Amino acid sequence: MSERLAFLDHGVAVQRGVITLDGRPERLLVWRDDDDPRLRLGARLTARVASVEPALATAFLDLGDGREAILPFKSDAKPVRGEAVQIEIRTEPRRGKLAVARRLSGGDELTAGGEAAGDLAEVLKRLARTVSVVGGRAAREAADEAEATALDALHPLPGGGMLAIEPTRALTAIDVDLGERKGSDAKRVTRMANLAALQEGARLLRLKSIGGLVVIDLVGRGHDGAALLTAARSAFGPDNPGVAIGPVGRFGLMEISLPRRARPIADLLCDPDGALSARTLAERLLRRLQDEAAAQPGARLVGVAAPEVAQAAQRFAGALTGQIGARFAIEGRADLPRQVFQVHAR
């Protein structure tokens, strides 16, 4: 029986929630203190219809303070420009795309002022179906592992072989590679690799918060389509409702459509060029300062990073002071690469 555990790491101006499945990260939620809670998955609020595009069956919503979302509608439920509508966020915004909302029905009426998506601990309990959330050092280690895994492109398969997961603008491609997977029966080896790839691929796509069209390039030929389809339905079951799985095609490809919900982890942590953002690197520097403060009570600490990262970290110096006291300094050094930082006692 699969076991899911929930972890919550409290950083500086950021929380990272992790769900593990049998000891491996399955979901990663990154909530920054300056995020707009109105755009979080599950948030409910009142918005105003800014414009209606009948040809697209889409309305553009004004959420206030310059925030926007889109509202798909059916022909018999077209909203009116200027109308106030009560909505729930069903898809968080991602790079170049607005959040997607659904209109609440009469039975879903929200209270005046709207409703937040709940705190992160509550969300984690719901996802893991648990009553407790682990914190402290174990949570930090789980979050660090989840973050690193979510940003990797190559992932080892249990029993040997490799998965390559590569998002593109149109779809996400997953390549299954046998590598040095052992076995004298080639057909059985490829079958077991494909079954493992479906299970691991589903977990990793949830971890990366990737939705939309996914194409899996299975290994080998002469696939048992029925067995693979059954395995895919089981592996992607936690992503329902909204999952559609196609049969294995003549070229050994399986197509899967996954609902888009949370913002992709790569969007959150990286710049458009794929490099870690200054904000993400600053959060890592601040976590290191937190850890060193716990390990060296009373010591005066100095964090040194590239100027861009140091500047980003300085924005949250007040929050760190509230946690460890005013016993640290953050300095920029032009000769340090962006992803390198140092923390030491002075």
65-109 pLDDT, tens digit each: 999 999 999 988 899 999 999 999 999 999 999 999 999 986 566
> How would residue 1 be classed by pLDDT, with cut points 50, 70 and 90?
low
Q: What are phi and psi of 125, to 5 degrees?
A: -60, -40
DSSP 251: T
When pLDDT is cut at 50, 70 and 90, the band that residue 116 belongs to is: low
Distance CA 98, CA 115 (A): 20
Q: List the domains of the chain with CATH numbers.
A: 4-36+117-147 (3.30.420), 42-108 (2.40.50.140), 152-266 (3.40.630), 274-345 (3.40.1260.20)
Q: Which two tokens stand for residue 115?
A: 């409703």
Whether residue 114 has pLDDT greater than 70: no
Task: For tokens 């459509």, name the residue.
Answer: 257
Q: Give me the pLDDT at residue 14, please.
A: 97
What is the 8-class DSSP label of residue 117?
-
SS3 label, residue 291: helix
| Whole-number pLDDT of residue 53 | 96
Q: Is the pLDDT of residue 118 over 80?
A: no
The average confidence (pLDDT) of the chain is: 94
Q: Which backbone phi and psi does 217 adopt, to 5 degrees?
A: -90, 95
Alpha helices in the chain (DSSP H): 120-128, 136-151, 186-208, 225-235, 265-269, 278-295, 307-314, 317-324
pLDDT of residue 291 exceeding 70: yes
Residue 113 predicted with pLDDT over 70? no
Q: Residue 104: which of 116, 87, 84 has the closest Cα?
A: 87
Q: Mean pLDDT: which of 116-120, 139-143, 178-182 is highest? A: 139-143
Q: Which of 28-37, 110-119, 247-256 has the lowest mean pLDDT?
A: 110-119
pLDDT confidence of residue 117: 65
Least confident range from 57-66, 106-115, 191-200: namely 106-115
